[in-house]
Amino acid sequence: MAHPVTRADVEVLFSAEEIAVRNTLLAKEIASTIGNEFVIVAILKGSCVFIADLLRALYHEGAAPEVDFMSLSSYGDGMTSRGVVQVVRDLQVPVQGRPVLIVDDILETGRTLAHAKDLIAARGATHVWTCVLLDKPVERAANLSADFRGFECPDKFVVGYGMDVAQRLRELPFIGWVRPR
C-alpha cells in the first residue's frame, strides 16, 4: 500500500493572505455582474472552504444569495479523474426562473462543471454563471471556461483550502501542490 500524502509532501502555491485578497475582489466582480439576489450552488466537497469565505465577502458587497450544495464526483479516492461525473448529493433549492452562480474549487477537464451547468440550465435557471477558485489551463474535455476565477493554477496536483487527496489535507489554510515522491 502506498504511503499517504502528508503536509510534509505539500509546498505552498497560494497563501492564505493571497486567497483572502482574491476572494474580496471576486465578490466585487460577482456582485457587480449578477446583482444582489441569486442562488449559489456550491460543488462539494472541494469548494467547502472557498464558498464560506466567498459568502462572507459577498455579504460585505451587499449580496444576499440563497445557498445550496451539490456533490459531484469524478475522482473518487484517486489523483486522476475517472472521466464519469456522478451526482452524490442533488440540490434542494428550486432554480427555475432564477439566476444561479455555480461555485467550484478547480476547473481542469471541465466535465464536472459542465455537468452541473447543464443540469441547472435544464431545470430552468434564467442564467447560469460559473466561479472557480483555480483555473488550470489544460486541455478540456468540455468546451467551458469560468465566468469568474480566482487564480490560474499550474498543472500540478493541488490540495488544501478544501481540496483533498483521498479525503485528506482539506484543512490546510493555503493551497499547495503535492511534490512527487
Rounded CA-CA distance 155/69 in Å is 27
Q: What is the mean pLDDT of the chain?
A: 92
Percent of the chain with pLDDT over 90: 78
* Residue 177 pLDDT greater than 80, yes or no: yes
Is the pLDDT assigned to residue 181 strictly greater than 80?
A: no
Categorize the per-residue pLDDT at 1 as very low, low, confident or very high, splitting at 50, 70 and 90. Answer: very low
Under a CB-based contact definition with an 8 Å cutoff, are residues 73 and 87 in contact?
no
- 24 phi and psi angles, rounded to 5 deg: -60, -45
Residue 131: in which H helix or E strand, if any? strand 127-135
Residues counted in the chain: 181
User: How does residue 3 score in pLDDT terms, banded at 50, 70 and 90?
Assistant: low
pLDDT digits (tens, 9 = 90+) for 117-132: 999 999 999 999 999 9
3-state SS assignment for residue 31: helix
Query: With 80 as the cut, is the pLDDT of residue 84 above it?
Result: no
Q: Where are the domains of the chain?
A: 18-158
Say what the pTM is. Answer: 0.91
35-72 pLDDT, tens digit per residue, is 999 999 999 999 999 999 999 999 999 999 999 999 98
Question: Model confidence over 140-163: pLDDT tens digits?
Answer: 988 899 999 999 999 999 999 999
Looking at 3.40.50.2020, 3.40.50.2300, 1.10.1060.10, 3.40.50.300, the CATH number of the domain 18-158 comes to: 3.40.50.2020
Sign of the dihedral through C-alpha 68, 73, 74, 75: positive
